[in-house]
Amino acid sequence: MPDAIQVTKNRIVTMDKVRNIGIIAHIDGGKTTTTERLLFYTGKIHKIGSVDEGTTTTDSMIQERERGITIQSACITTFWKQYRINIIDTPGHVDFTAEVERSLRVLDGAIMIFDGNAGVQAQSETVWRQADKYGVPRIAFVNKMDKVGASFQKTLDSITQKLRAPIVAVVLPIGEEHAHTGVIDLMEMKMIVYDKDPEGMEFTVKDVTPEYASAATAARAHMVEKIAGTDDVLMEKYLNEENISVPELKAALRRATIARKLFPVFCGAAWRNKGIHPILDAIIDYLPSPIDLPPIEGFDVNTGDKILRRPENNDSFSGLLFKVQSDPHVGTLSYVRVYSGIVKTGTEVYNSTRKKSERIGRLLLMHADKREGIEEGFAGEIIACIGLKESYTGDTLCDKNSPISLSPIQFPDPVISLSIEPETTDDQEKMSQALNRLTQEDPTFKVSYNQETGQSIIAGMGELYLEIVVDRLKREFGVNVKTGVPQVAYRETISETAEGEGKYIHQSGGHGQYGHCKIRVEPKARGEGVEFVNGIKGGVIPSNFIPAIEKGVRETLLKGIIAGYPCTDIKITVYDGSYHDVDSSEQAFKLAGAYAIKDAVALARPLILEPIMKMEVATPSDFLGTVIGDLSSRRGQIGGTTDSFGFTTVVATIPLETVRGYATVIRSLTQGRGSFYMEPSHYDPVPRDIQEKLTIKTTDKKE
């Protein structure tokens, strides 16, 4: 097999003709609708599905079809002009942000969709930042140009102002709102009018009419200037007023897009089947293939030295397991992005993260919920494996003779929890197995056990997320459960530096137990987590006991000090102590560490932190005062408002505790016409009176 070759059944393409892309956007931006058209126009499907009817290709879960939302990212492969396009359709709802995070980690490019009426929305900013974090080149698609209030220019302004992104429009809309009929291709200066076929398969391409000539000429001049500004050769031609050909412009824009110096912007109306063909061409023209990007960086698992792996089949195998999914037919599916080398069915791979070897039973290419068996997975591909029993999201798979560790995926902590228990004792084991499967699927889903109540506690990114989990337990796993009231995920931290001492001395005849340490705690910035530092000098505590102290400290912080919530954003330094030649043990120092951290935190003015949400509330302008008054009464901080066609969008930050069940409230306040969107923003200290209540409540429980 020649190098850099990708194979699928009856299709062979070189690696430069492969595109691994994702579709990302705010909730209801039109991701799945756009994906459906991409698949239809490329011949992958022969009938356009509908989100409202639950018939789309990439929404295969029962819950997705019932609710009209995407919950799990779906992989699907299609072909356009002899190019192979691997598409991942991602969720828009923030509760399922892990799906977006892990998809962007392994993608080479993305299509960012914006609502032509709303511009940049809250989740638009979030996913744009996620794509920036992973260095993903993007093209933008301004969707819903047929919607009342849609404005291409206002959306461009919104992207520039809110995202501070260097964008360039390469098309113009032909009409807006109900008058939207197609787009003007500024490269070729041609009008693409969708006037022949309701499904958009056929359309008219013609010269720009006098009505649009002036606007198109000005827009093209602006486009040429911005593209030339990214390329020295073209800039010289531009300044000398020489003609720049379309191939030169496209080549320069491709380089600028891959380098993220420019983001090309397109527009259309996916639901009306307008403007999708230029997007397909743009995927080919501007988004990178695996060989257009720098080699993947990793580390030697033995020495820690940096290693580069190139997307070549003759290099050693390396891949990142980015998604684990339960499948009713084949068990566990493990999705892997192959960065280098070849992996074959039945071979042994090395999990460098867990330092274990695993055997791959089967390899699959995924087409949403359909599967195609393959014998080999090549560099640049996204494949699914069957048979991996101890490999999970974020693990690196590689050749044991040439081990490498790739950067893991970072996920946010859950913000809300729920107590859960089986309706019958017979369901206890089934529930435990089901929850274990679900934790393997999603790293933002956490399960713990409350010793006092005997209940399991599940935690996730939002109320909708937990609702879906409970529904899946019943439908997929056949477990009927009883649930409690959702609880906010508070955290504890400190506000001052303090020192504490812990001693554990126990004599019971024979060898005793002796552990003694002194620690210092210092506050860290929000979101920095827990840092443990060994500051012991002169061997006053032998180095082999330091890990035991750290374990005691971390376990105690996890349980909480003042109110039973996990402690975070603390730097802990063990700086002094003593030991006994005979009686000291790891267990004794673990207990000493636990006592010391309790002592230190109690003296460091501990605080309780609560999750603060970023919230956008859309309300008819007539109810604006009522909505703002209600948000203020819930300790909300109003950040600003924007008006659009009789509706006002209020941007605020607000404690999660005060807006649980807000969907019912906003409908009541606005006669059913209001809506809202919410996503985690940061943690802040709770007011003193609430901290006292939470502390007293926990003390009462212990007593």
Amino acid, single-letter form, for residue 313: N
Amino acid, single-letter form, for residue 474: K
Q: Give me Rg for the CA atoms of the chain.
A: 28
Nearest to 105 by CA among 71, 140, 132: 132
Specify which residues 459 forms β-bridges with.
417, 446
145 is in an annotated binding site: yes
Angle at 511 between CA 505 and CA 517, to 5 degrees: 30
3-state secondary structure 117-152: CCECCHHHHHHHHHHHHCCCCEEEEEECCCCCCCCH
Which helix (H) or strand (E) segment holds residue 561: the answer is: none
16 is in an annotated binding site: no
User: What does the DSSP 8-state code read for residue 568?
Assistant: -
Task: Give the integer Cα–Cα distance in Å for 79 and 664.
Answer: 45
CB atoms within 10 A of CB 248: 16
Task: Give the integer Cα–Cα distance in Å for 22 and 3.
Answer: 25
CB atoms within 10 A of CB 645: 8
CB atoms within 10 A of CB 466: 22
CB atoms within 10 A of CB 2: 8
Strand, coil or helix: 639: strand
User: What is the CA 670 to chain-centroid distance, rounded?
Assistant: 32
90 is in an annotated binding site: yes
**Tokens in use for 345?**
């069915």
Nearest to 344 by CA among 376, 368, 317: 376
Which helix (H) or strand (E) segment holds residue 488: the answer is: strand 487-488
89 is in an annotated binding site: yes
Cβ atoms of 595 and 577 within 8 Å: the answer is no
Please name the residues in contact with 129: beta carbons below 8 A apart, sequence gap of 6 or more.
Answer: none
Amino acid, single-letter form, for residue 225: E
Whole-angstrom CA distances from 459 to 427, 490, 564 are: 20, 12, 15
Cβ atoms of 237 and 244 within 8 Å: the answer is yes
- Straight-line distance from the first to the last Cα atom of the chain, in angstroms, rounded to the nearest whole number: 70
Cβ atoms of 397 and 336 within 8 Å: the answer is yes
146 is in an annotated binding site: yes
**Tokens in use for 172?**
């113009």
Whole-angstrom CA distances from 486 to 193, 198, 460, 466, 693 are: 51, 46, 10, 9, 18
Task: Give the integer Cα–Cα distance in Å for 96 and 7.
Answer: 32
CB atoms within 10 A of CB 243: 6
Angle at 572 between CA 568 and CA 577, to 5 degrees: 145
Amino acid, single-letter form, for residue 127: V
Query: Which residue intervals of 317-406 are DSSP H helices?
Result: none
The residue behind tokens 């420019």 is 262
Query: Which residue intervals of 5-96 are DSSP H helices?
Result: 31-41, 62-67
Task: Give the integer Cα–Cα distance in Å for 54 and 71.
Answer: 13
Q: Phi and psi at residue 236, in whole multiples of 5°?
A: -65, -40
Which residues contribute to the annotated binding site?
A: 89-93, 143-146
Residue numbering of the annotated binding site for GTP = 89-93, 143-146
